[in-house]
Amino acid sequence: MKNVYMDYAATTFVKPEVLEEMMPYFTEKFGNPSSFYEISRITKRAIDESRGKIAKALNSESDEVYFTGGGSEADNWAIKGIASAYKNKGNHIITTKIEHHAVLHTCEYLEKQGYKVTYLDVDKEGFINLDDLRNAITDETILVSIMFANNEIGTIQPVKEIGAICKERGVLFHTDAVQAVGNVPVDVKDMNIDLLSLAGHKIYGPKGIGVLYIRKGVRIHNLIHGGGQERARRAGTENIAGIVGLGKAIELATENLDEHMNKMSKLRDKLIDGLLKIPHTNLNGPRGDKRLPGNVNVCFRFIEGESILLSLDFEGVSASSGSACTSGSLDPSHVLLAIGLPHERAHGSLRLTMGDRTTDEDVEYVLEVVPPIIERLRNMSPLWEDYIKKGEK
């Protein structure tokens, strides 16, 4: 039976080289880095080394890198921590309608606490309008949180321009770069980024480890209180093996970035071209270099995303109907609604995300199994029957 994994945006496998570096930290090198003996110094050194690798990948300083329990924690910390620290300056936050739920639900929570949040619209390819951003900033604005690249439709925002606007207006800029790091170039200095979130398990590192980059000089309150770890900003005994794994993963990802981007864009474009040959199929998100290299997201009209997933699963293809968080629920994706798709079309979406182990043959296999699935499902669909009878309205 074929086994084709096309859900890299949900999570990746851990690279063998990454796992190998992690292993000793579970068994021999297990010392608590806060203690005063040799095996502790070993783990403390390992953390410092990993921090250095992450700083190098982001073009930041080592002491601007803080380890967290993953991408969601980094997003929560950035937004809640800034909201709380800058409460006296203002109570307004700007974000977008297409953020990951780790950002959206955090903003909704803050609205209940009395903050005001502006959710910027996006165009039909998922881009924000820079003038909308400029116009939304007021004297009360303390934070702009806009994702680097979208996890569903792959849209890469003009991050450098956003950073420049925020800098000019004296507003802090946070970006959720969980999908961007390791897939496209990221440079916090050049792009004027004040805070940035990333996660291990989207870049061939382990789950449950992430980073919040906090530019020096940015005031932020703690999310997790307790011991003095992470320079007293994030309490809790360090996830040493995770930290070591994340350092190795980001090092590998950035070393081979050009090659990886090239390979992924070719596979992506081949898959998109093939899928668009199916009648009544639309691409969600942009084409070209403003789209994440491994991301494909299409809508097949007249059918349900969930039924496509079931049929694909039967053929050995692991895919998603949007974000992992929305599969299983009957609500259409907030991202697809934000780019202007009607509910009916947003329900028929399929996300295929590729990565390190994806081959040309995998793409060809998917292009072989998808068309008959769509045809069969359409033949069972009352929407399709209506369309055939009456013609398009």
Ligand X SMILES: *Cc1c(COP(=O)(O)O)cnc(C)c1O
As measured in angstroms, the least distance from the Cβ of 4 to ligand X is 21
As measured in angstroms, the least distance from the Cβ of 324 to ligand X is 8
Concatenate the DSSP letters of all residues of 24-36 into one string: HHHHTS---TTSS
Stretch that binds ligand X, among 20-28, 52-60, 197-205, 334-342 (CB under 6 A): 197-205
Stretch that binds ligand X, among 71-79, 83-91, 184-192, 235-243 (CB under 6 A): 71-79
As measured in angstroms, the least distance from the Cβ of 200 to ligand X is 7
325 annotated as a binding-site residue: yes
Structure tokens at 83: 């909201």
* Selected binder of ligand X within 70, 126, 293, 322 (CB under 6 A): 70
11 annotated as a binding-site residue: no
As measured in angstroms, the least distance from the Cβ of 284 to ligand X is 16
Q: Is 54 helix (H, G, I), strand (E, B) or coil?
A: helix
Q: Are 189 and 55 in contact (CB under 8 A)?
A: no
Q: Is 171 helix (H, G, I), strand (E, B) or coil?
A: coil
Position of tokens 């071209």?
A: 273
Crossing angle of helices 240-255 and 257-275, in 10° steps, is 80
As measured in angstroms, the least distance from the Cβ of 147 to ligand X is 6
* Selected binder of ligand X within 100, 301, 351, 378 (CB under 6 A): 100
285 annotated as a binding-site residue: no
Residue 119 Cα to chain centre, angstroms: 18
As measured in angstroms, the least distance from the Cβ of 122 to ligand X is 15
Q: Are 172 and 194 in contact (CB under 8 A)?
A: yes
Residue 12 sits in the site that holds ligand X (CB under 6 A): no
* Selected binder of ligand X within 202, 234, 268, 347 (CB under 6 A): 202
Residue 104 sits in the site that holds ligand X (CB under 6 A): no
* Selected binder of ligand X within 95, 175, 179, 239 (CB under 6 A): 179
Q: Taking CB positions, which residue lies at the least distance from ligand X?
A: 71
Catalytic residue, from 107, 166, 299, 325: name it. 325
Of 81 and 210, the one with the shorter C-beta distance to ligand X is: 210
Residue 320 sits in the site that holds ligand X (CB under 6 A): no
The amino acid occupying position 62 is S
d(CA 387, CA 384): 5
Q: How open is the CA angle 59-62-64, to the nearest 5 degrees?
A: 85
Residue 71 sits in the site that holds ligand X (CB under 6 A): yes
Q: Taking the CA of residue 387 as centre, how many other CA atoms within 13 Å lie in the half-sphere pointing to its CB?
A: 13
Nearest to 79 by CA among 202, 176, 216, 179: 176
Q: What is the pairing mode between strands 4-5 and 317-318?
A: parallel
Nearest to 345 by CA among 376, 318, 322, 367: 322
Other C-beta atoms lying within 10 Å of the C-beta of residue 275: 23
Binding to ligand X (CB under 6 A): which residues in 209-248?
A: 210
* Selected binder of ligand X within 18, 178, 220, 335 (CB under 6 A): 178
Residue 199 sits in the site that holds ligand X (CB under 6 A): yes
End-to-end CA distance of the chain: 42
Of 201 and 334, the one with the shorter C-beta distance to ligand X is: 201
Binding to ligand X (CB under 6 A): which residues in 129-158?
A: 147, 151
* Selected binder of ligand X within 22, 55, 102, 195 (CB under 6 A): 102
User: Residue 143: beta bridge partners?
Assistant: 93, 172
**293 Cβ contact partners less than 8 Å away, ≥ 6 residues apart:** 183, 184, 260, 261, 264, 265, 268
295 annotated as a binding-site residue: no
Residue 107 bears catalytic tag: no
Strands of the sheet containing 281-283, edge to edge, are 281-283, 295-300, 349-353
Number of residues that bind ligand X (CB under 6 A): 15
84 annotated as a binding-site residue: no
Of 75 and 230, the one with the shorter C-beta distance to ligand X is: 75
237 annotated as a binding-site residue: yes
Of 8 and 300, the one with the shorter C-beta distance to ligand X is: 8
Which are the catalytic amino acids?
325
Q: Which residues are annotated as a binding site for [2Fe-2S] cluster?
A: 325
| Binding stretches for ligand X (CB under 6 A) | 70-72, 75, 100, 102, 147, 151, 176, 178-179, 199, 201-202, 210
